Structure 1
Amino acid sequence: MNVIEGIGMGLVLSLIIGPVFFALIQSSIEKGFRYAVAMAAGILLSDSLYVLLTYFGVSLITNNPMVEMVLGFVGGGFLVAFGVLTFMKKGMGRPNTGGFPKSKKRPMKRKGFAKGFSLNGVNPFVLLFWTSIAGLVHLKDGFGALDVVGYYLGILLTVFLIDVLKAYSATKLRTFITPKIMQLLNKVVAVALVGFGIRLIVFAAEAV
């Protein structure tokens, strides 16, 4: 029953549109399904580490606003920098690849994993989400060890599978997207990343 409850919470988390959502869709279209799956795996590992961090240290994090402030500045700065680099990125279209860059599979997978892990990891909203979940779990008196594991597994696996589904759906649109449209999508993603980054920095500044 707690697994089902976790699946429900995972569905809610999957509907949140943030910088990782835009980056996942963009990467799937531009670099392929396998790259996006590797990115989703990186997101999964990042979330799993946050689960451990918040579950075992929820009281320390929630009672220390300095942690949120530092994460806000660092995470916001990273997103702004990543957005600027994405905006400045030039098209690399090639006729034999349908206008998309062609790279070796292994390096792409490693880069995709690192990209998913880092983008999700530096977002303080992800930390705050898992902190709230940890608080909720701690408040449930009837939750035993197996209940906690089932609940978190329900959330994590649901988010991962839906991320994979998003990547697969985006890949199907690849043949309809020209290099010019891809360039426009890159600009939109870049602006979104910068917007999220600035928002995080503002929140961090207000906490000072």
Structure 2
Amino acid sequence: MIEDLLAAIPLGFFLAFLIGPVFFVLLETSAVKGVRAAFSLDLGVIVADVVFILIAYFSTNKLLEKIKDDPALYIFGGVLFVTYGIISLIKNKKNYKRHEENESIITIKKNNYVELFIKGFLLNFINIGVLGFWLGLIIVFGPQLEMDPNRMIFFFGAILGTYLVIDIFKMFAAKKLNKKLTPYRIYKIKRLISIIIIISGVVLLFNGIFPKQINETFEDQIERRIPTI
């Protein structure tokens, strides 16, 4: 178990600092809406991860490989990301213009935790690359864990636990920025987040339209970066 834990912790760190839409949305949510709101969003992200892990574990390798590399799923996820980013960009701009015209203080909802949970779940779930990540770990570490259910639960639980602990530290760090957030800065941050989401969607679209441009499989990258148990 100790060896499994030592192998899982670095993966949790890697996942927590993996730069992507969820990373920036989590920091923005914590800074603007507070730690509890960010924690609700993060729980949604983790639940989506658990769903992906279960899919990867209970499905056959042949089916998983087909799903993971299906260009249509990358295109679908990319379209959703781009659409979400564009809508957020337009909505944010309208809200800021309305604020300027009314010269009123922007009010921020802090108690819609269910909506934030769903947002975190969907933001993570529509990214087919996340399924590839967990599939790669199943393929690489599954045999080393002897596909033992107890070891698998402990191993992946340790990864998600490490990820959550680091995210909590990130939330409190981002929360300290709250006092420095003016309506204009909030607008700038949200615009940056929307642009990052759009770029992420474009990357997914590129991977779906030009799948052969990806020269390395995810499993090879994992094997080179992470030591064996």
Instruction: Flag whether TM exceeds 0.5 (same fold).
Output: yes
Quote the offset at 1:160 in angstroms: 1.6
Correspondence for 1:102 among 103, 108, 123: 108
Deviation, 1:104, is 5.9
2:77 equivalent to 1:75? yes
Determine what percentage of the aligned residue pairs are the same residue.
25
- The answer to whether the 8 Å contact 1:58/1:131 transfers is no
Asked if 2 retains the 8 angstrom alpha-carbon contact of 1:65 and 1:207, the reply is no
**CA distance, structure 2, for counterparts of residue 128 and residue 13 of structure 1:** 13
Provide the TM-score with structure 2 as the length reference.
0.81
Letter aligned with residue 47 of structure 1? D
1:21 corresponds to which residue? 23
What is the deviation of 1:99?
A: 4.9
Task: Report deviation, 1:174.
Answer: 0.6
Of 32-41 and 156-165, the range deviating more from structure 2: 156-165
Q: For 1:173-184, what aligned pairs fall within 5 Å after superposition? A: 173-184=177-188
What whole-Å deviation, never above 9, does each CA across 1:40-96 have from its counterpart, x for those lacking one? 0001100011111111225034431576323211211111111112211123769xx
Aligned length: 203
Separation of aligned partners in 2, 1:178 and 1:87: 18
Displacement of 1:197 in angstroms is 0.2
Cα contact 2:145–2:151 (8 A) shared by 1: no
**C-alpha distance in 2 between matches for 1:54 and 1:65:** 10
From 21, 41, 44, the equivalent of 2:43 is: 41
Structure 1: state its 5+ residue gaps.
Answer: none
Once the two structures are superposed, the pairs formed by residues 1-208 of structure 1 within 5 Å of their partners are: 1=2, 2-57=4-59, 59-64=61-66, 68-88=70-90, 89=92, 90-91=95-96, 99-103=105-109, 105=111, 108-140=112-144, 142=146, 144-207=148-211
**Could you tell me how far 1:103 is from its partner in structure 2?**
2.4
Q: 1:61 to 1:93 in 2, by over 3 A?
A: farther
CA RMSD between the two structures:
2.2
Q: Are residues 121 and 7 of structure 1, via their aligned partners in 2, closer, same or farther at CA, if it must alter by over 3 Å? A: same
Aligned partner letter, 1:43: V
